[in-house]
Structure 1
Amino acid sequence: MPCQHPPRHKAGTDHLTANGCTNSSTTQGSSVDSGHKDDDVERGPASYERIILSVGGLKCGCCETGLSKALRHVPAIRNHQVNVVLARVEFDLDTSRGSITEVISRLRKTTGYTFEKYDQPEGQVLELLVDDVLEIHQAGRPFGVTLLESGDKQYWHPAMLWSGRNSAIPPTPLLVSSSPDQGDGTMEKFVGPSLYRRNIRIHYNAKQIGARDVFEYYQQLAPSQNVQLAPATAHPSLAIGARQTKRACILFAVTTFFTIPVVVFAYAPVNHNNIVYAHVSLALASVVQIIAINEFVPGALQSLIHSGLFEMDFLVAVSTSIAYVYSVVAYVFQVKQKPLETGCFFETSTMLVALILLGRAVNEYARLRAAKSVSVRSLQTQEALLVVPGGSTAPGGDTRVIDARLLQYGDRFKVLPHTRIVTDGEIVYGGSEVDESMITGETVPVAKGLGNTVHAGTTNGRGQLVVALTKLPHENSISRIAMMVENAELSKPKIQALADRIAGWFVPVMAAIGILVFLAWMLFDRIQNQRTWRNAVIKALTYTIATLIVSCPCAIGLAVPMVVLIATGTSARFGIIFREPQKLEVARNTTDIVFDKTGTLTTGSLTVIEGKLMGAYPENIKSMILGLLEGDKHPVALAVCRWIKSHPDDNTPILPTKMVDIQSEPGSGVTGVCEASRLKVRAGNPEWLGVKLLESQHTHLCVTIDGFHGATFRLQDRERPGANKVIELLTSRSINVHMISGDSEGAVNEIAHTLNIPKVRTRWRLKPIDKQKYIHELQKAGKVVMFCGDGTNDSVALKQADVGVHVNGGSDVAKGASDVVLMTTRLHDVLILLDISIAAYRRIILNFGWSALYNLVAILMAAGAFVRFRIEPQWAGLGELVSVAPIVGIAFSLKWRDYGRKYRGLE
């Protein structure tokens, strides 16, 4: 596949293939093994890689406790995170203590689950199907191809050609690699022909060679190979979820097939004294019990032995086994014509297993649907209508359909009416209206014409467009949003810790309750009802089985992660990305919101009102200013550069002077040295430069050349549309609004007056450290502070705030320091963010409430506390379905509300 996602951290240098990330920072909410010792001289210094594993075999929401404990017991692992909904774990692995293969083997032994490593290679990867991998290697590597790597399958060593098919030579994977600048084609390991088609991953630099060029290169030089693109694969979480759902459904279907006859024999009006029915029931129930033992016992024993944990599978295994064993004993007495008072109840054990497996199947399906519902990747179109290179962009121009993975830089593609746009680009022909709701959450189509940008996954209207590609599928809007959402989904809010503790103690407590129920009913029946000990024990067993089975910690385990998953996915549909889901819980408590001025409360598109140049050679000054500021993305620098270019002297274009040693001081200005004259040029705010100016309501940029005042520019900004209404709504929620800026007092006061922000909550001429201190002072006063900014000079403040919000269009540094990223420049997205946070928290509390209510009522009913209302043992298996279904419904209700509707009129 050419569309791979860049890793969150850089790949380890001790592997040629990208298989992890090094030196990852500690993530909030993760567990650290305090027993780690990195001072072993023989091992050498610790070398950490960030590893992501997909987990197969998770059965319910309470599986997280055992899996987390198993991870904590591996000394080489730290900072682990588990998401049972997505069936993924992520952790830092010290490769000096053990390999990923050893870790997977140990985790599989201690948990019983299967683990599959999720590789996130750097750069682009094209995956092909070939017959002979050796011939592909012999075809060489065009410039830009950096690595050839075998896929998931194994290949025979070339020696098999001489030693025959039964050679004992072990399989060896292909791995051909060299540095991009060597080009020596060194083969470290290789393989020969195979009876089967194999997949080969080709790593390449997309800026040096395109995916289509790579594909056509190997098609031409290895024509006998019938080179084809490998089938597109689903995201690992979705693939594993689909497999587990299919397996759960098959198990339920098979179990039901054997259960139905047993139930019919038990409840149908037939002669129950006929021993034939007992024989058949025993045979069918034995098959069901074998399925139950295989499904529940291994995992329960592994968790008990290796992690010391009693999981729900343990209670299920014990309860179903008790019912089955008792029925076998009763069957033996019936065959000997000495029937027990209660007789056989094979239907109890079989129905228990069938209904539990039904609950598991619904649980798996719900988790899969939840993962799919928030998967932005499903919006990626798989095919593109490529405009033939060199052809006309007119409607009648030549086009051909290609796989979207084969797009490359320089391509133009056609977008037909009412189809999705395949990737980001710029319109070069046509006009239409585009539905961008997948990015903005706004259903109103946006008019697009020549020169406008379009985004992957958005839907074209009635017009026809020709788009010049600017982003490949692996780096387009869909991939960027999906990557941020997926990275965030592994972390969890602090409230999850409460759910984890409850789920961890749930099974031992239920085991204790089960013993009490058994003793209570046995003694009550023997003493109060004067029944025999045997009959009292039998009746007590039925109550105990029902009590143990009907309880369900899965609802507690899924109460938080299901809501967080849906909430982060829903917010992403509105262009709001929670990089840290912990902040989903914090945001609702916000008491103060601090806005940066330029680019956040204002448009950030400044206009030069006046430009004064001092000295006899203004054209030289303009040239030096242009050379100093041309690469600067600050709004003031951009505005000044535009003004200089639009004010040439004598109609002669201004050319930038070459500057060296350019250094930027956030919040102050830029310094550089003219390469030819060695004059030191500084541009920034007047205070920093020591220039005295009269205070005004405008923003000022001054320039000095070797200490002499060379130029002054007065600039004007305007408030962002709808900003005053947003601030009014925030104030109506009793949230204090603040505005801080590095700009002059006059410019700040002008915007504050326009937006009705009290002067006491405004600050000006603040450097990055001053912004941090301002937020810190609010926090010391007990405030929960949200900070909204976009520039590099806001990064420290974004980190300091309880919730740091990055506004689209700002610097990547600021984005990296933020907790929440707004994909649009709409200010009312802050209101939507708060609404989603409040709605998510309410649903988490509602889920906890339902979980507690269900378990309390169900356990009391199963235990016989309500004499006339009792849950029979055979129906107790419905517990998981009854308890989990509302949890899923409550979480999915987040998707049914249009959070942006009431704010659409603000801009």
Structure 2
Amino acid sequence: MTRQIELEIGGMTCAACANRIEKKLNRLEGVTATVNYATEKARAVVPAGLTAADLIAVVEKTGYTAAEPQAEPAAAVPGADPLRTRLLVSVALSVPVVVLAMVPAWQFDYWQWLSLTLAAPVVVYGGWPFHRSAFVNLRHGAATMDTLVSIGTLAAFLWSLWALFLGDAGMPGMTHPFELRAGSAGDAIYLEAAAGVTTFLLAGRYAEARAKRRAGDALRSLLELGAKTVTLADGREIPVEQLQVDDVFQVRPGEKVATDGVVTDGSSALDQSLLTGESVPVEVAAGDPVTGGTVNAGGRLVVRATRVGADTQLAQMARLVEEAQDGKAAVQRLADRISGVFVPVVLVLAAGTLGYWLGTGGSSTAAFTAAVAVLIIACPCALGLATPTALLVGTGRGAQLGILIRGVVALESTRRVDTIVLDKTGTVTTGVMTLSAVVPEPGEDADEVLRLAGAVEAASEHPLGRAIARAAAAHGPLPAVSAFQATAGVGVRGRVEGAEVEIVRGAGDTAQTWVEVRVDGTVRGRLALADAVRPSSAAAVRALRGLGLEPVLVTGDAAAVAEAVAAEVGITEVIAGVLPAGKVDVVKQLQARGRSVAMVGDGVNDAAALAQADLGVAMGAGTDVAIEASDLTLMRGDLSAAVDAVRLARRTVTIIRGNLFWAFAYNVAALPLAAAGLLNPMIAGAAMALSSIFVVANSLRLRRFQPVAV
């Protein structure tokens, strides 16, 4: 028997760190672990007998820290304030060093010694996080990005010390120009490179930390949606954590519903926009389910709790989003393997660069500069951030819009699917029978026909009867009925205001269900009932076609009903009369024809088909079984949400691929330039920091994703 353990990891500074921890955890027998550099978390499936303490011990032996997650989300970026202080000090001290090095006209007598005085604290104090991490990893026989930074900046600093104290660089009146490429003068100093690189990398790391924090804002806001306290029916106020199943609590106007439950008394409108992205409030009354985290916009409600804590829909949404953010695209897994061997390869490349320049007659200064530039510019951080930051932002934005994405595999599937199977009832239609027409006989009043029919049907439990009664009650109070009698498969009858009123099945257009209303044996009119098509379904079908998806309508209803609905929304391929178990066969048949199939459904009978499909999409208003079997869950009971889900998923994959392309392209282009002596180390440091910032900033564009207007 296995279980899942989650840990918060401290001390990671690059993707290579995450890869090392992941490898160490996966070496434990029976353990499958994923370490996410962007979220700074590890998630592991472990066999019975292994505990969180065992995993923490492994992480600590690797040179990092680990702890089980806190109950409450952190309020600030871990370590952001100390990093900010270190950055501000480094900026203040390094700017004069860089300016003096870049403007020979300002290089007064002994300017180099002032540069040393200012640069030394930057390299030691500002660069301490890099040096400390490099030392810790060295003790464990490993090399990370910090190893490259530490060696590069210390080499530049120590070279400068040698030139100042033992060479000619310390002489009064010494000047040298700033060059974008490797230097050649024997008295060159690289204090501006040592200080500038350190400051650039600190700035990049601080910007990265803040951007990663912004990337996770959507999930944090989701986790913080829930109420903190709840008022019980007897007036006592308790923390929401103490609420138990079957406890009865009240929700006053403006308050959040404390947990999932059922309304026992009262009626109101609930604002569910924070959970579903749907701006229109939903009316609820006694007997209706409510979801924790929604806001009571109207009257007072009394609710009986049905799910609490980790079982609530809000908690399940947060869990789905968190799990999705741990995934890795196929191309990201390749990037991880590259990052794992990247640092040792760069160290060898830097040594080779130094040897090549010296062996071909180049100056020692040029050889040293080129080798340091190779060390500085070869950061694999952008590769490690490419997928997790895009997933953080994409899944978080999806949660805000009521779209839950299970992971990167689901994202990749959206790019391949070309056919989308739509279950009719509850997906294309509302799933609720409604009155669609009242056709009175000549000389009869339509409102009176409906009033008499509604009076009799008010005593019925049949869905058709409830639809008639609901429509009639909307026009005013209904008279009482006596001598009510229901005949299965035929209809109902009763006495209303002294008349014998009978409602029986009638003939008519088979796309709708028709009933006759007879009063004292005389037909007074006919009523048509239908499962109404959702107002947005037709526009959503057009939008799906625009995304390259061919819609197929599947239903257990008769062909005439299905074709009428299909014609209304613009679907040409219809498969009717399908039994619940037959939906799986429909998906298999389409796949056998070479199609990549997405399935949208909401009921228990859709779960198997959702699992069989290449991409399963569950309507959130449906059952837990259907949601569990799906890859995407739509909290809005609207087909337009499926359009948004596919658009967002494809957009996220595009961002991930763009991130990885530019991260690879950066390293492929920059390393040869550095090795050829065409990059000053300080310029290399700035470029390396900007590559990581670019990847995170590119991912943050997903925060601006907007739902399609249908």
TM-score of the aligned structures, taking structure 2 as reference length = 0.76
Amino acid at match of 1:748: A
Determine if contact 2:536/2:639 at 8 Å carries over to the other structure.
yes
Distance in 1 (CA, whole Å) between partners of 2:652 and 2:21 is 26
> SS at the partner of 1:782?
coil
Matches within 5 A, 1:402-481: 405=241, 409-416=247-254, 426=263, 435-442=271-278, 444-446=279-281, 448=283, 456-458=292-294, 465-471=299-305, 474=309, 476-481=312-317
Amino acid at match of 1:86: T
Matches within 5 A, 1:16-27: 23=1
Matches within 5 A, 1:274-289: 285-286=123-124
Q: Cα gap change, 1:106/1:405 in structure 2, threshold over 3 Å: closer, same or farther?
A: closer
Q: Cα gap change, 1:355/1:733 in structure 2, threshold over 3 Å: closer, same or farther?
A: closer
Q: Cα gap change, 1:465/1:58 in structure 2, threshold over 3 Å: closer, same or farther?
A: farther
Cα RMSD (Å) of the superposition? 4.2
Distance in 2 (CA, whole Å) between partners of 1:249 and 1:500 is 29
Matched, 1:797 2:609: yes
Matches within 5 A, 1:296-311: 296-299=134-137, 301-302=139-140, 304=142, 310-311=143-144
Q: Cα gap change, 1:826/1:328 in structure 2, threshold over 3 Å: closer, same or farther?
A: same
In the alignment, which residue of structure 2 is the partner of 1:772? 584
In the alignment, which residue of structure 2 is the partner of 1:81? 34
In the alignment, which residue of structure 2 is the partner of 1:39? none
Matches within 5 A, 1:817-856: 817-856=629-668
In the alignment, which residue of structure 2 is the partner of 1:810? 622
Matched, 1:117 2:68: yes
Distance in 2 (CA, whole Å) between partners of 1:373 and 1:345 is 44
Determine if contact 1:297/1:313 at 8 Å carries over to the other structure.
no
Which of residues 119, 137, 156 in structure 2 aligns to 1:323?
156
Determine if contact 1:360/1:880 at 8 Å carries over to the other structure.
no
Distance in 1 (CA, whole Å) between partners of 2:641 and 2:112 is 72
Distance in 1 (CA, whole Å) between partners of 2:382 and 2:122 is 31
Distance in 2 (CA, whole Å) between partners of 1:82 and 1:67 is 7
Distance in 1 (CA, whole Å) between partners of 2:119 and 2:656 is 44
Matched, 1:575 2:402: yes
Distance in 2 (CA, whole Å) between partners of 1:411 and 1:805 is 34
Matched, 1:494 2:446: no
Distance in 2 (CA, whole Å) between partners of 1:280 and 1:835 is 52
Output one character per residue of 1:306-349: Cα deviation in whole Å (capped at 9) or x when no partner: xxxx4322222322232233234334415998999325434432
Which of residues 52, 55, 60 in structure 2 aligns to 1:103?
55
In the alignment, which residue of structure 1 is the partner of 2:370? 543
Distance in 1 (CA, whole Å) between partners of 2:118 and 2:481 is 102
Determine if contact 1:56/1:244 at 8 Å carries over to the other structure.
no
Distance in 2 (CA, whole Å) between partners of 1:330 and 1:762 is 82
Which of residues 539, 545, 565 in structure 2 aligns to 1:725?
539
Determine if contact 2:423/2:601 at 8 Å carries over to the other structure.
yes
Distance in 2 (CA, whole Å) between partners of 1:586 and 1:337 is 63
Q: Larger helix proportion, structure 1 or 2?
A: 2
> In percent, how many aligned pairs have the same letter?
26
In the alignment, which residue of structure 2 is the partner of 1:71? 25
Matched, 1:90 2:43: yes
Determine if contact 1:804/1:818 at 8 Å carries over to the other structure.
yes
Distance in 1 (CA, whole Å) between partners of 2:563 and 2:141 is 64
Amino acid at match of 2:706: D
Distance in 2 (CA, whole Å) between partners of 1:882 and 1:277 is 25
> SS at the partner of 2:347?
helix
Amino acid at match of 1:295: S
Which of residues 294, 298, 309 in structure 1 aligns to 2:132?
294
Matched, 1:51 2:2: no
Matches within 5 A, 1:512-531: 512-526=348-362
> SS at the partner of 1:604?
strand
Distance in 1 (CA, whole Å) between partners of 2:119 and 2:428 is 74
Unaligned runs of 5+ in 2: 175-184, 437-460, 471-479, 487-507, 515-527
Distance in 2 (CA, whole Å) between partners of 1:446 and 1:569 is 22
In the alignment, which residue of structure 2 is the partner of 1:862? 674
Which of residues 342, 345, 349 in structure 2 aligns to 1:506?
342
Q: Cα gap change, 1:447/1:717 in structure 2, threshold over 3 Å: closer, same or farther?
A: closer
Amino acid at match of 1:722: S
Matches within 5 A, 1:864-903: 864=676, 870-900=678-708, 902-903=709-710
Determine if contact 2:268/2:299 at 8 Å carries over to the other structure.
yes
Determine if contact 2:227/2:293 at 8 Å carries over to the other structure.
no
Matched, 1:341 2:194: no
Determine if contact 1:300/1:311 at 8 Å carries over to the other structure.
no
Distance in 1 (CA, whole Å) between partners of 2:115 and 2:542 is 76
Q: Cα gap change, 1:724/1:274 in structure 2, threshold over 3 Å: closer, same or farther?
A: closer
Amino acid at match of 2:698: I
Distance in 2 (CA, whole Å) between partners of 1:377 and 1:269 is 56
> SS at the partner of 2:300?
strand
Instruction: Measure how far apart 1:800 and its partner are.
Output: 0.5
Output one character per residue of 1:706-726: Cα deviation in whole Å (capped at 9) or x when no partner: xxxxxxxx9853333332332
TM-score of the aligned structures, taking structure 1 as reference length = 0.61
Determine if contact 1:435/1:446 at 8 Å carries over to the other structure.
yes
Output one character per residue of 1:551-603: Cα deviation in whole Å (capped at 9) or x when no partner: 32111221122112211111222211112331112113221111122222222
Output one character per residue of 1:722-766: Cα deviation in whole Å (capped at 9) or x when no partner: 32332233334442221223344444344344444335x414233
Matched, 1:350 2:177: no
Amino acid at match of 2:210: Y
Structure of higher RCO (CA pairs closer than 8 Å, 6+ residues apart)? 2
Unaligned runs of 5+ in 1: 1-22, 24-47, 120-232, 305-309, 391-399, 527-535, 610-636, 655-693, 701-713
Which of residues 197, 215, 218 in structure 2 aligns to 1:373?
218
> SS at the partner of 2:556?
coil
> SS at the partner of 2:78?
helix
Amino acid at match of 1:313: D
Instruction: Measure how far apart 1:857 and its partner are.
Output: 4.4
Output one character per residue of 1:797-851: Cα deviation in whole Å (capped at 9) or x when no partner: 1111011111133222112111111112101111111211222222223223332
Distance in 1 (CA, whole Å) between partners of 2:272 and 2:135 is 50
Distance in 1 (CA, whole Å) between partners of 2:512 and 2:284 is 34
The worse-fitting range, judged by mean Cα deviation, of 479-488 and 336-345 is 336-345
Determine if contact 2:18/2:36 at 8 Å carries over to the other structure.
yes
Determine if contact 2:233/2:302 at 8 Å carries over to the other structure.
no
